[in-house]
A = this chain, B = another copy of it.
Amino acid sequence: MNSEFLQDKEIIVASNRGPVVFKKDASRDEIELIRGAGGIVGSMIPFLQKTHGTWVSSAIGECDHHMNNRYDGKVPIPLENPEYYVQFIKTEEDVYNNFNGKFANPLLWFIHHSMWNSPYSPCADDEMHQAWDSYKYVNSMFAKAIGEDVSKSEKTPIVMLQDYHIYLTPKMIRKQHPDVLMSQFVHIPFPSPEIFQQLPNHMQVEILESVLTNNVLGFHIRRYMDNFLRTVKQILPTASVDHVSGDILYKGQICHVRTYPISIDIETLQKHGKDSTVMSKMKEVDEIVGNCKLIYRTDRADLSKNIIRGFQAYDMFLDKYPEWREKVKFVATLMPSRQDIKIYREYTDNIKNIVETINQKYATADWEPIKYICRGDYDLVVALLKRYDVLLVNPILDGMNIVAKEGTILNENNGVLVLSTGAGCYEELKDGAICINPYDIRQTAESLDMALLMDDKSKSLLLNEAKAAIRRNDLNKWVSDQLRDIEAVIYERQEIKSKDGEEAVRMN
């Protein structure tokens, strides 16, 4: 990307969850700002700051709504001496629940992760069709807010939409602003056409027609991009799809479909790994693990993460290799997720049950086979990532999986990554890991044994290979590659214009 490119631009980011949340600090009766964690926030903020841009997102609580009103829809961050702005979209609670709790999650999420139990679900009943109406409505609220920002902008706006919550927003924006530069990035896998077709027909068409109005559409890896191209070809037969470049011509507009594998901020992460807060957690880890070897996993307790098969594999491992009993400890830090949705509550219960079963089956007076920690303590996670002997990352499907990258960078124990072929980062990290089929618990059990028995030299080779793969890419590149491709759209337009101009001259 040309470094001067951003000088006359304004970046407008939009996503369901924003970069900050406002909460009431009960002790001081003041509203305080809590910054969100995660890769997208970290990578987008510098570009927002450079352009004094705006991040549009759903209001999560009353405080967000309150701040939004107080600052007339443009909350400056920081409040004094603002570097960028946030704008919260407030929707009625039941509409938001339909939009997010019924349509985006679990319906769209499950479809993207090929996780529906097809003989029984999903089922497009009236409730689902109504949830679609709410999804459309919230998407239109996003489009309206972004459209107004675009209209008001004194610079050239670049709209960067995030993820599947707002699939219908781009077409609504495009209708008002035919020339706006717009991209969307899909942070989760994209399924094959057969699975995408679990959606009612008109929803399939409306989603695809909308995302194709983006100038640039990004996926993490080629596999997801290929699924998307095939899905478009199947559902919109008049689309002209270039399966090599990823360019799609549909209804007179070109959408450039590309891959941008997201990464981590290596320096910030390494710095965090040396924080005193993490160092004190290292002691806690020592107490938990003792002299045992440490198998570790950390996940949001989502069904796509394959937590239960991971534990079943550990059960089989202790059964098949009794020599490891009392010499190994499985620590799992798992954050319960989406507990308002029944299938998630059931999944959390099933996790608890299998942990108990394993502990009852193998525990001795001095040894607990698994420790399951359920609290949001990122310093503890970092300490465990520094310490593991084996990191188990076995998702069924996973957009990228940042944990595998974080663990590889942080680990100081010559640890081995056991990695599922279903993880997005499998493409990058496969030569630096023991790779497993996520459905094969026998292979997973054998891989745990293999990883623990591996000699130091082999372990270093793997770890260095994985580290090198991560260093080839970085988080800044993820955004700047997208901006580079948006910049190319401007040149493309200028070329067309100048050709049209030549043509006009000749015609005269």
Contacts and interface: CB of A to CB of B under 8 A. Distances in A.
A442 B119 contact: no
Interface in A96-132: 113-120, 122-126, 129
Contact of A123 (B113, B116, B309, B397): B309
A140 interface: no
A437 interface: yes
Contacts of A116: 117
Interface residues of A, number: 40
Q: Is the interface of A mostly helix, strand, loop or mixed?
A: loop
A441 B120 CA distance: 12
A194 B192 contact: yes
B118 A308 contact: no
A396 interface: yes
A24 B199 CA distance: 51
Tell which of A126, A191, A306 has the most Cβ of chain B within 10 Å.
A126
A198 interface: yes
Contacts of A309: 123
Nearest to A306: B119
A312 interface: yes
Contacts of A443: 124, 200-201
A197 B124 contact: no
A365 B396 CA distance: 52
Nearest to A191: B194
Nearest to A234: B223
Contacts of A123: 309, 312, 439, 441
Given A129-B442, A200-B439, A316-B125, A115 B115 contact: no
A195 B312 contact: no
Contacts of A397: 194
Interface in A403-451: 421, 437, 439-443
Given A123-B312, A192-B192, A197 B437 contact: yes
A372 to B, nearest CB: 18
A113 B437 CA distance: 20
Contact of A125 (B115, B120, B442): B442
A359 interface: no
A194 B304 contact: no
A126 B437 contact: no
29 contacts: A113-B118, A114-B195, A115-B117, A115-B118, A115-B119, A118-B439, A119-B303, A119-B306, A119-B308, A119-B347, A119-B396, A120-B308, A123-B309, A123-B312, A123-B441, A124-B437, A124-B439, A124-B443, A125-B312, A125-B316, A125-B441, A126-B316, A192-B192, A192-B194, A192-B195, A197-B437, A198-B439, A200-B440, A201-B440
Given A115-B119, A125-B316, 13 more contacts: A114-B195, A116-B117, A118-B439, A119-B303, A124-B437, A124-B440, A124-B441, A124-B442, A124-B443, A126-B316, A126-B442, A199-B439, A200-B442
| Top 10 A-B pairs, shortest CB-CB distance | A117-B117, A119-B303, A124-B440, A192-B192, A200-B440, A198-B439, A115-B118, A201-B437, A118-B396, A124-B439
